[in-house]
Structure 1
Amino acid sequence: MTGGLSRADFHSQNLERAREEALRLFNAKAGLQGAWLNWVGAQIYSFRPAAYASMVRRELQSLQEKSET
C-alpha cells in the first residue's frame, strides 16, 4: 500500500472514486459495444496502485451483475 495506509483506510478513502470510475466505464459500454471489453480491460490495467484497479474491477462487476437481473 502507498503511504503506509492500512488496507481498510485505503479502501475507505478510494471507494467513492472507484465507484465513479466503474460507472464511467460501465456507461461507455453502449457506445463501444463489441470493442468495450478490450477497452475496459486496458483502462483497468492502467490504474495504479493495483489495489485501486482491483476495487474498480469489483465495482464494475457489481454493476454488470445488477444490470443482468
Structure 2
Amino acid sequence: MSRADFHQNNAERARAEAQRLLDQQAALGSRWLAWVATELYQLSPPEYTAMVRRELEQLNRAQQP
C-alpha cells in the first residue's frame, strides 16, 4: 500500500482519534499531556501515530483564541 493510500484509508479514523484525545483535555487538566503521550505510544503503526499527532496539533491550534 502506498503512503497516499494509507493516508486516505486512515485519515477519518486519525481525525476521530485526535478529537477523542483532545476532548479529554478539560477533564484531565495538567495530567492531559502525559496521558496523551501514553495514548499515542500505544498506537500503531508509527505512520498512523504520526497522522493522529498531526491532527491533534491542528485541532489544538484551531481551539486557540
If the length of structure 1 is used for normalisation, what is the TM-score?
A: 0.92
| Structure 1 moving runs of 4+ over 6 Å | none
Q: Does 1:50 align with 2:46?
A: yes
Q: Specify every segment of 5 or more residues in structure 2 that has no aligned partner in the other structure, as ranges.
A: none
Count the aligned residue pairs: 65
Letter in 2 for 1:40: V
C-alpha offsets along residues 11-45 of structure 1, whole Å, 9 cap, x if unaligned? Answer: 00000000000000000000000000000011011
Compute the RMSD of aligned alpha carbons. Answer: 0.5
Unaligned runs of 5+ in 1: none
What is the distance in 1 between the residues matched to 2:2 and 2:37? Answer: 27
Q: TM-score, normalised by structure 2?
A: 0.98
Task: Percent identity, please.
Answer: 48
Structure-2 residue corresponding to 1:22: 18
